[in-house]
Amino acid sequence: MTGQLDDRFRALVEDHFRYLVSAMPVFATFIGIHSEDHRLGDGTRDAVLDRIAHERRFVGELESIDGEGLSAEARFERELALHVARLDLFTLDEERAWERRSSALEEIGDAIFSVFARDFAPLPERLDSITARLEGVAAALDQHRSRLGPHPVRLWNEIDLTVGSEMPELFEEVVQAGRGAWPDGSRALRRLESAAARASAAVDSYGRWLRDRSADGTDDWPLGRERYEHLVRLRALDGLTGDDILAIGEEQLVENQAARRRAARDVDADASEAEVIDRIKNDHPATFDEALDAYRDAMLRARQHIIDHDLATIPSGETLRVQATPEYLRNAAVPFAAYMEPPRFDPRPSGIYIVTPSVDGDPDAMREHCRASISNTSVHEAYPGHHLQLSAAITHPSLVRALVDAPEFVEGWGMYSEQMMREHGFDAEPAHMVAMYTDAIWRSCRVILDVRLHRGEITVEEATDFLVQRTGFERANAQAEVFRYTYTPTYQLSYLLGKVLLLRLRADEQRRLGNAFSLRRFHDQLLYSGGLPITFHRRLLAGEGGGPSLPRVGPDATGAPGGVPGPADATSGAVRTA
């Protein structure tokens, strides 16, 4: 039944969505709206303040709508929209990392890659858009200088400087593509080459400025206990506090360490746990190219396992490719692997699964691509993890849900998938279980470090030591991990906490439905309802808001995705890390 205020609510959401597309052209490209592909967003401080004012107005207008005048579905969507907008306001107006951390160089990388990597249009057409964005780089970087406040965080800006040092390679990849697409000496190619050269010079100039600005920067970046607790409440994590979440992390760390010891004994009862782990890590492909082939094989086997065991409905036509992580993201943002989701509004949306060869050229990096870890990472990133979940989510028509990206569900689903697939016999040998529990130990550490770092209870160096000691990661990878944790409060805890909450939800549904419970139906109800907070999923399962969504298409039973191209030389933009 339609409510008398439903149209007003929908119009409000549509106006908000149009504002975001206009204000954030890279976001528009990322979700498959290509009218803005030729430009970069306004990088000035005033533009951020305008966004804050807009979000505040949007919250006020949503609150002014009387829920009694809305249909049940619109009332649910309104509460979801409020949840997202309030979180955005906290990030922009309370946390205000944008005035302490330059993200300009990473945003420019995203702007280029988001057009370059997708085949939504012929390459020459996409290169025209990239050329226009490259021509806007110098102005955008000048605009971003006005954002940085009086207390830049030294560590955060060193990360952007690392990204910037790799940016000319990204520009050169685009130029090389142009040389293959256009005749030598053509006007279009000359324009691209000139734009890339000027963009590289602007990046170099901005890097010198940022280094000077950050030289006397601060190391005072934690949110502190009070603001951290406020953010946890806004996240709507089943009523948990920071202390509750920390206790879950510590409990899970103990449990997963014990489980890994048991699995290691199953591998070799006469060897120590450390010896077993070392042996497993030494079982890796000889080269990174061979490792990429192994990642592809693992993800395809996992996909077929889902079909064979009736675990979920795979959307028709979904596609996924695996490739190396771009240079500009390897050392700063993606030390292991990540996933770039299919654009919701592209006619042929495709996912991209990226894998990092090494961090800082670490000679031991191939040990992180051991065969057991390749299997677990592919379950998390591809099937039935991020790629399946996000390919299903984009089929939902709601504009509100296009803006929702609750990490405790999205990242929690990826980690839940690791356990669920082992429960159903996929790569469940002892060596694979050691790898799974190693990753679970890592995510348990993330919970502990997220809480303790952002409450100011532990230093970056102490956190790196903790991660190395508990996981056995190579130090370069562990340090890159911790650096990322410092500017993503409450994100890193979402992986393991989300898995715990999903397992609780599954158990609750099994008790509620008894013999009527279907694992496939439970999974589909979550997957096709979107990346909502688990508390909202719980409400849908209980019948609120019209109930959960289900697939509108049948499973693709071919046993193979619509396309799994080989490795590409393209680089990565906005990503969801492992």
Question: How much is the pLDDT for 334?
Answer: 67
Cα separation, 437 vs 257, whole angstroms:
7
Residue showing tokens 């036509």: 317
Question: How much is the pLDDT for 269?
Answer: 97
User: In tens digits, what is the pLDDT along the chain, a chain of 578 residues?
Assistant: 789 999 999 999 999 999 999 999 999 999 999 999 999 999 999 999 999 999 999 999 999 999 999 999 999 999 999 999 999 999 999 999 999 999 999 899 999 988 998 889 999 999 999 999 999 999 999 999 999 999 999 999 988 898 888 889 899 999 999 999 999 999 999 999 999 999 999 999 999 999 999 988 999 999 999 999 999 999 999 999 999 999 999 999 999 999 999 999 999 999 999 999 999 999 999 999 999 999 999 999 999 999 999 999 999 999 999 988 877 666 555 667 888 899 999 988 999 998 888 766 777 778 889 999 999 999 999 999 999 999 999 999 999 999 999 999 999 999 999 999 999 999 999 999 999 999 999 999 999 999 999 999 999 999 999 999 988 777 887 888 899 899 999 999 999 999 999 999 999 999 999 999 999 999 999 999 999 999 999 999 999 988 999 996 543 333 333 332 222 222 233 556 66
Question: How much is the pLDDT for 2?
Answer: 86
**CB-CB contact of 143 with 43 (8 Å):** yes
Cα separation, 22 vs 13, whole angstroms:
14
Question: How much is the pLDDT for 575?
Answer: 54
Question: How much is the pLDDT for 572?
Answer: 31
Cα separation, 309 vs 325, whole angstroms:
32
Question: How much is the pLDDT for 573?
Answer: 36
- 350 CB neighbour count, 10 Å cutoff: 25
Cβ contacts of 126-132, under 8 Å, gap ≥ 24: 126/37, 127/174, 127/177, 127/178, 127/181, 127/182, 127/188, 127/192, 128/38, 128/188, 129/34, 129/37, 129/38, 130/174, 130/192, 131/188, 131/191, 131/192, 131/195, 132/37, 132/38, 132/39
